[in-house]
Each structure stands twice: as structure tokens, then as C-alpha cells.
Amino acid sequence: MKRLFGILALAMCLGPLAGCGGGSAPESAGADTKKPAVALIMKSLANEFFKTMEDGAKAHQAANPDAYTLIAEGIPNELDVNRQVQLVEQMMARKVDAIVLAPADSKALVAVCKRAQDQGIIVVNIDNKLDAAVLADQGMAVPFVGPDNRAGAKKVGDYLAAQLQPGDPVAIVEGVPSAYNAIQRKLGFEDAMNAAGMSIVTSQSAGWEQAKANEVVTAMITSRPDLKAILCANDSMAQGAISALRAAGKLGQVKVVGFDNISAARALLAEGALLATADQHAGDLAVFGIEYALEMLRGGAQPADQETPVDLVTAAP
């Protein structure tokens, strides 16, 4: 909570930067040498979560046009790590002042971030935390601005567990196994299920993707027709799980939870197809990272992790 207060205080200190509106990325960095250029590099913009993140960042920049210029980029799919590396290299070539990065992989992006730092570029990590051991091997300090994914997943799992019976068989649909946030969400789900005495009969990755989750869950409910619940590490995969259950005529018999609170998830909550999800406030997450990068550029902040909110969202009023 102390960290949360810290980042909220940071946002207040940067009050003149806060606001909403429309906006777009500039054609090139450094066009106005008086303003720092900040690059926001996200994962797949096909995922509504990251599109919301981009919209929040653009609105913030448009409301604060004199504070900084913004370049926002994403990748075609969640697994395109090489494209993310290329995007960081492009931002280095454009000589941006700061890069705010939601890495597709916790380890594979560290080397290019090291090259960016060596070039004098501020790097701030959001959404998915870079691997601490790899950072240490490189002698790097990169601040992580984001939620406690394990705690958020446990909140969702605890809510689900209250509606099951001890011993009920449940399944987990994981994100990309090498991603720190995927690992933490799986651990949070396991914390809740184990504490409540549930039986986790299978845990498989669907790589954050809706279509893959449909395939994975179709196989799960075929091999384990007694499943009582499926815990999905993001809402896109929960959508895929619900589609698989609907096709099998089992929607309503198997409870589904997700993570992210995208608009599609809210519709499924209202319908009763989704029991709960976690809101990590996508529209604010990139803004927190950008504001911290600007604070570092001003010399007012040293690299330190900043925890942001993650809240349980349920179908119940």
C-alpha cells in the first residue's frame, strides 16, 4: 500500500500532466528539442488490454502537449519477441529520451534494454516484469511500474473458491510460460485453490491468445468432463474458454474467471458467463510509467519499483 501511495503521490506531483483528450504519435522523435520524446512499446494491440493502454497514453500526451512527445508502438501478436526487439532498436536510432516497455518476454528483451541504457535512454518497465536475475547479470536497474499480479490473481481465485466445494476439480489456462506476469498469475490462482482445498487437475498455456484457449479448453473438458471451474490468466483466454464451453453445451456448468477487465469481459460478466476478473487499470498503467520516466528525466527519481492498483471485479453488484 505504501508503494501505491507513492505512485499516486507521484501522479499528484505531476498534476499539470494529468488529464484526458485525443492524441496521436508524432512522425519523428526529437522534432522539438525542448520536449523529451517518450516511446511506449507494448505487446499485441489485437488484445484490447493494450489498445486501452495505448489510448490512455495518447490521451495523456494530448492533454499535456508541451510536456513531451509520444511514440506508441505494438506488435502483431503476443509472441513476436523479435519485433519488440526491433522496435526498441528503432527507438534507439530515433534517439528518444525514454522507453516505456511492456515486454513480451521477461528475459529476451533485457539485452536490447541494456543497449538502450548504454546509449543514455531511460527505460521503464510496465505490465510484465523483466527477469530480476537476468537484470542482475547485466548489472542493470530498470524500475517496474505495475501491479502485484500474484495478489490480483489470488483475489480472483479466492472469490471463485467461495462458490466451489473443497475437492472440486479445477483447471488453469496460463499465459506465456516465460513471462513474469504469467508466472505470477498462475501462482496466485494456485495460492487460492490450494488454500481452499480445490484439486488443480491440469494447468496448460494458451499463450495469452483467445483462439488457442478455445483449443486448449475444448481438450480439457473432453478429458475432464467433471471440471467445475477454469481460471484464465487473461480475459482474451477467458473468452476462448467460454466459447469452448458454449460449443460443448457446458456454459453455466463450469465457472470461468479471467484477468484484465477488458470491455468484452464486462459484457460476459453481465451475461453471467464470466464469474470474475481483475482490473489492473490498463488506461492508467502506461501513464504511470510515462510519468515516472519523465520524473527520472528531470532527475527527481531514482530507479525503484512502483506498485499500482489491481482490483477484483465480479458479476455481483
Q: Residue 252: CA atoms inside 13 Å, Cβ hemisphere, count?
A: 2
- Taking only the tens of pLDDT, the chain with its 317 residues reads 333 434 444 443 333 333 322 333 444 444 445 799 999 999 988 888 899 999 999 999 999 999 999 999 999 887 889 999 999 999 999 999 999 999 999 999 999 999 999 999 999 999 999 999 999 999 999 999 999 999 999 999 999 999 999 999 999 999 999 889 999 999 999 999 999 999 999 999 999 999 999 999 999 999 999 999 999 999 999 999 999 999 999 999 999 999 999 999 999 999 999 999 999 998 899 999 999 999 999 988 788 999 999 999 998 66
Q: Tell me the torsion sign for CA atoms 278, 284, 287, 292.
A: negative
**Shortest CA distance to 57 belongs to which of 290, 294, 305, 295?**
290
Strand partners for 101: 41, 125
CA-to-CA distance for 294 and 122, rounded, in angstroms?
9
Query: What pTM does this model have?
Result: 0.82
